[in-house]
Amino acid sequence: MRLADGYDPLLFDLDGVLFRGPEVVPGGPETLEALRRDGHRLAFITNNSARTPEAVARMLRELGYAADPSEVVTSALAAAELVAARGYHRAFVVGEEGIRRALAGAGIEVLDGEPERADCVVVGWDREVTYAKLRRACLLVQRGAALVATNDDRAYPAPDGLWPGAGALLAVITTTTGAVPEVVGKPHPPLFEAAVRRVGDGRPLVVGDRLETDIAGANALGWDSVLVLSGVTDPDRAAAGDVRPTYVVRDVRALLEPPPVRRTGQK
């Protein structure tokens, strides 16, 4: 009996799970290959809306993972699916190429410049944001545009410290307008739901390194989860947190090992 037995699909967070900064985690590519050989469907889920699935798959392949773009589900892709499902046709975007391409791919018209109206404003991570863009987003929301966010991560952990995340940009608009956004990325359900729509439903297992996004999101859906200690969460924090994963393990290699004792007090 191995931990991954009986779970399908397996939904992997990226940073802290498959790699850490520029370094691949020990045994990561070999573990995922073995899981594939055993028939598990895999999905790679990320709150980062800036990169396209093709770019994410390329980055994973450079690290040694056999990832296909069809297995990559970004918050941009899930946001575009949500926007299309709501029947919105015209979107003003605060965000980068990943979200613009995803919206266009879903048949949504992406508005540029200073449009008078939009069906929705979609906010993601944008490293070239300007006051003019945020002002326009606020005006459109006041005129009735729905507010959709790819994710609400307050910060992006960069090598030199924390950078403002999509949630920080979103806060400019919610602070100004008082609007309540619909948020797609982890820990909110739409990204997880988009992943199982894409690779297939079953008995999903979420593998992540962050309690408040990966694990809280799985818990909210009633799905089992694995917290890996190869990322941002240390053992003390894992034990103290009020968010309880189903399993706590060293790293992804544990998916091929006998399951550890389940955490007590979980859902």
Residue number, 136 or 210, with CB nearest to Mg ion: 210
Residue number, 71 or 209, with CB nearest to Mg ion: 209
**Residue 153 annotated among the catalytic residues of the structure:** no
Residue nearest to Mg ion as judged by C-beta position: 16
Residue number, 147 or 227, with CB nearest to Mg ion: 227
For residue 9, what are its two tokens? 């699909």
List 8, 13, 126, 224, catalytic entry: 13
| Residue 92 C-beta: closest distance to Mg ion, Å | 29
| Residue 134 C-beta: closest distance to Mg ion, Å | 27
Concatenated DSSP letters of the chain: --TTTT-BSEEE--BTTTEETTEEPTTHHHHHHHHHHTT--EEEEES--SS-HHHHHHHHHHTT----GGGEEEHHHHHHHHHHHTT--EEEEES-HHHHHHHHHTTPEEE-S--S--SEEEE---TT--HHHHHHHHHHHHTT-EEEES---SEEEETTEEEE-HHHHHHHHHHHH-PPPEE-STTSHHHHHHHHHHH--SB-EEEES-IIIIIHHHHHHT-EEEEETTSS--HHHHHH-SS--SEEESSGGGGGSPPPPPPTT--
| Residue 36 C-beta: closest distance to Mg ion, Å | 21
Question: Where along the sequence are the contacts to Mg ion (CB under 5 A)?
Answer: 13, 15-16, 209
| Residue 46 C-beta: closest distance to Mg ion, Å | 8
**Residue 242 annotated among the catalytic residues of the structure:** no
| Residue 152 C-beta: closest distance to Mg ion, Å | 15
Residue number, 15 or 182, with CB nearest to Mg ion: 15
Report the distance separating Cα 137 and Cα 6, nearest Å: 45
Residue number, 146 or 207, with CB nearest to Mg ion: 207
Residues with catalytic function:
13, 15
